[in-house]
Structure 1
């Protein structure tokens, strides 16, 4: 009886292990994808800002960098609205992509 239970537990472990590994890999891949898609507005280059943020072209990206250089780092994504030409609509489109 003990041998039968041991075999059943072993078989169950073999069947469920790949599912667990797959879930862990998917979580890691999702985290990496979010990291690649997010933009740190305190360190991003003009090119990164204009390519990765919606509604931000080269001129607004340059304005973000100039504002950052003149006033220091942004304390939150909402502080981005202090940059001329960036309003609530632009911020809302990018809120999930912005990190500080």
Structure 2
């Protein structure tokens, strides 16, 4: 049995459509989009607990003495006066750091300070060598 030109063209056109469709669907499966995973460590406290009373530690007399001592200020345990020994941190910024820590939990990295109101990249650069979170390896 012989097929006409019209039938041959219809079969050829159908084969091209099937091949195009198969390629279209296979391309979509082979080039899957990357998956973005975001994680956040959240501290949950089931019952409120009272913190132990802070122990009295000798505070340096000036910012210069604090910076020369070589000890880093732990952002997660420092009080207002200790935070104020850092360069670029006065009363308002120290209060903002304490408020951020109270609202969001402990700092994970010193770079997280940029999320505190009033602290940008410039201030962070000036005090990054003088702070720690107790978890970082600096």
- Asked if Structure 1 and Structure 2 have the same fold, meaning a TM-score greater than 0.5 normalized by the shorter chain, the answer is yes
**SS of corresponding position for 2:70:** helix
> Which whole-Å CA distance do the structure 2 matches of 1:80 and 1:55 have between them?
12
User: Where do 1:1-100 residues align within 5 Å?
Assistant: 33-35=69-71, 38-50=72-84, 52-100=85-133
Bigger Rg, structure 1 or 2: 2
Q: Distance in 2 between matches of 1:73 and 1:80?
A: 11
Match of 1:9 in 2: none
Hey, what's the Cα distance between the residues in 2 that align with 1:53 and 1:89?
A: 14
Shift of 1:42: 0.6
> What is the Cα deviation at residue 34 of structure 1?
2.1
Structure that is richer in helix per residue? 1
Across the aligned residues of Structure 1 and Structure 2, the Cα RMSD in angstroms comes to 0.8
- Structure 1 CA distance for aligned equivalents of residues 122 and 86 of structure 2: 12
Which structure exhibits the higher relative contact order, with contacts defined as CA atoms closer than 8 Å and separated by 6 or more residues?
Answer: 1
TM-score (norm 1): 0.63
Q: Please list every run of 5 or more consecutive structure 1 residues that lacks an aligned counterpart in the other structure.
A: 1-32
When normalised by structure 2's length, the TM-score is: 0.46
Deviations 1:26-58 (A, max 9, x none): xxxxxxx422xx1101110011101x2111100
Q: C-alpha distance in 1, partners of 2:93/2:70? A: 23
Q: Distance in 2 between matches of 1:53 and 1:91?
A: 10
Paired with 2:125 and 2:103, the residues of 1 have a C-alpha distance of 24
